[in-house]
Structure 1
């Protein structure tokens, strides 16, 4: 049986992650307050930002930028999106 969390992004009970996605307090906060669906959506968004903006995760400023965008994403605030991205038609 999967665990559920009250998802901060979707404001409802949803399936949670199996383990914290990163170490420390931030990982624990995500584990307790972000659904699996929201985390997977963020992972896709983050990948597009890294690729579009040619971000290096070795650069501490780029990591801070991504963390700020992640917070905005989970809090339903405006966040940077990959420019020119058009979702595939179904």
Structure 2
């Protein structure tokens, strides 16, 4: 049975994650307050940012930048998007 969380991003009860996506307090906060839908959307955005901006997760500054964008995304604040990305037409 899936668990439900009150999602910070969407401000409603939605299906939660099965486990914390990272260790520590930040991972626990995401587990308790972010829905599976919001996490999957962030994963997509994060991948585009890493690819378009050529981020290296070995670089502490790049990790710090990505963490800041993660927080902005989940708090409904403006966040960086991949420049030049055009979604495919349906």
Q: Which runs of 4+ in 1 moved over 4 A?
A: none
Aligned to 1:54: 54
Measured in 2, the distance between the counterparts of 1:43 and 1:20 equals 14
Measured in 2, the distance between the counterparts of 1:48 and 1:23 equals 23
Aligned residues: 90
CA displacement 1:17-69 (0-9 Å, x = unmatched): 00000000000000000000000000000000000000000000000000000
RMSD: 0.4
Note the C-alpha offset of 1:72: 0.2
Note the C-alpha offset of 1:89: 1.5
User: TM-score if structure 2 supplies the norm length?
Assistant: 0.99
- SS for the counterpart of 2:81 is coil
Measured in 1, the distance between the counterparts of 2:42 and 2:63 equals 14
Measured in 2, the distance between the counterparts of 1:74 and 1:27 equals 13
Aligned to 2:4: 4
- SS for the counterpart of 1:50 is helix
- Structure 1: 5+ residue stretches without partners: none
User: TM-score if structure 1 supplies the norm length?
Assistant: 0.99
